[in-house]
Amino acid sequence: MREKLGFIAVGQAGGNIGKLLKSNGFDVVFINSSKGDLDTLNVDEDKKYHIADGLGCAKDRETAKEIAKNDFNNINDFIQKGLKNKDLYYMIFSSGGGTGSGISPTLAKIYTKALNKDVGIITVLPSEKDTLQAQINCYECLKELTEIENLSGCFMLDNNQKNDIEHINQKFVRVFNKVFDYKKYETTKGNIDEAEILKLLKTNGMINIVTCKNDESTKKLIDEINNSIFAPIEKDGKIKYLGLSRGINFDDKMFKNEIGLYLDKFENINKEYTLAILSGLTMPFKRIQNIKDKITAEKETIINLNKVTENKLEDISFLDELTKPKDTKVKENMTADEILANFF
Ligand SMILES: Nc1nc2c(ncn2[C@@H]2O[C@H](COP(=O)(O)OP(=O)(O)OP(=O)(O)O)[C@@H](O)[C@H]2O)c(=O)[nH]1
Ligand SMILES: [Mg+2]
């Protein structure tokens, strides 16, 4: 089933996560405005695309949009050539940077709306310690994303949840990878099939995946959901679909009380671990509101820092008077010799 998914990794964070997915057998293409960043990726040249005129975007989403717009046909050709016959595309990018944050929502919109593809999102939210610019980029990017109708599931890796971004990348790829092991656990007691996996992945809203060991409990699974690498879930008690590859003795009542209700559950029995896929979750509006509050609290600073400052120095007028040459008529087009003669 892996071959049905195609990943479009944009920018540095996209590249880092994309390369881990690639080493796990997924089809990934890499796009960046920075040639240097692309060069650090140890993947085949035909899987990398450097946007024409791109010199990196230094967290400037508008620059990213501009260069991507001018080079859209080539970007699109590259993606279509690199990812053929896919059932589901994923855009992978950080919302806090320039390149990935600027380009990815528009590409996602074009693929869903104009080219009729299913597009899921794997994005990164900046930590609270990250810069104001990263918070602004993130908010603007999420605003664009949430305005796109019919997006598939959106994974929101949250740099605020853990200090180590590499750990977040690895943990995400590890749990995502497990989703495709479902065939190993087919039994007469329960199956999850491909259509159900696709339904879980394609359902609009936020999607989280968590895992626990089989000698642990529903309580531990709930703790994992509440302390995951993903943006905190809204406490509105709503999950649309639950995928459960179950090893623990699952306490449905406790789960519904503490996490939420679901319309349907796709379940199998797993002898090695427990994996829960929560799909169709409400977007993490509380977390997004915190970002907005942080930006709003710095409103004056942001306005001041964006004001164009006149950086030229004024003349000191009396000095000017002192150094003015005594009424020497300056002839135009003087030779160097004539000028020298005037000075000495
Ligand atoms: N989780 C995670 N976060 C990352 C990673 N790389 C960068 N970030 C975060 O993403 C934001 C910066 O985004 P980048 O992906 O570097 O930006 P970009 O898309 O390359 O855009 P430019 O500004 O043009 O370089 C910061 O908030 C970083 O902390 C990564 O590999 N994993
Ligand atoms: Mg970059």
What's the Rg (C-alpha) of the chain? 27
Residue nearest to atom 13 of ligand 1 (CA): 97
Please identify, by atom number, the ligand 1 atom nearest to the C-alpha of residue 56. Answer: 24
For residue 225, give the nearest of 256, 259, 253 by alpha carbon: 259
37 Cα–ligand 2 center, Å: 7
Please identify, by atom number, the ligand 1 atom nearest to the C-alpha of residue 32. Answer: 20
Residue spans per domain, the chain: 1-151, 184-297
CA angle 133, 288, 174 (to 5 degrees): 90
- Same topology, domains 1-151 and 184-297? Answer is no
Residue from 12, 20, 106, 128 whose mutation best tests the ligand 1 pocket (most atoms within 8 A of CB): 12
- Domain range 184-297, CATH class: alpha beta
Per-residue confidence (pLDDT) for residue 18, from 0 to 100: 97
DSSP 133-189: HHHHHHHHHHHHHHTSTT--EEEEEETTT-S-HHHHHHHHHHHHHHGGGGGGG-BTT
Q: Which pair of tokens denotes residue 114? A: 């104009």
Per-residue confidence (pLDDT) for residue 14, from 0 to 100: 98
For residue 75, give the nearest of 85, 63, 65 by alpha carbon: 65
CA distance 143 to 289: 11
Q: What is the DSSP letter of 251?
A: -
Per-residue confidence (pLDDT) for residue 182, from 0 to 100: 80
Judge whether 2 and 180 are in contact, CB under 8 Å: yes
Q: Which residues sit with their C-beta closer than 6 Å to ligand 1? A: 11-13, 16, 33, 56-59, 93-94, 96-100, 124, 126, 130, 134, 157, 159, 165, 168-169
Per-residue confidence (pLDDT) for residue 203, from 0 to 100: 97
pTM of the model: 0.90
pLDDT means over runs of 10, the chain (344 residues)? 96 97 97 94 94 90 94 96 95 97 96 93 97 96 95 98 95 96 77 92 97 94 96 94 92 94 94 95 96 91 82 80 63 79 74
Residue nearest to atom 6 of ligand 1 (CA): 13
For residue 180, give the nearest of 256, 281, 88 by alpha carbon: 88
99 Cα–ligand 1 center, Å: 9
Per-residue confidence (pLDDT) for residue 335, from 0 to 100: 84
Per-residue confidence (pLDDT) for residue 267, from 0 to 100: 93
| CATH 2.30.30.100 assigned to 1-151 | no
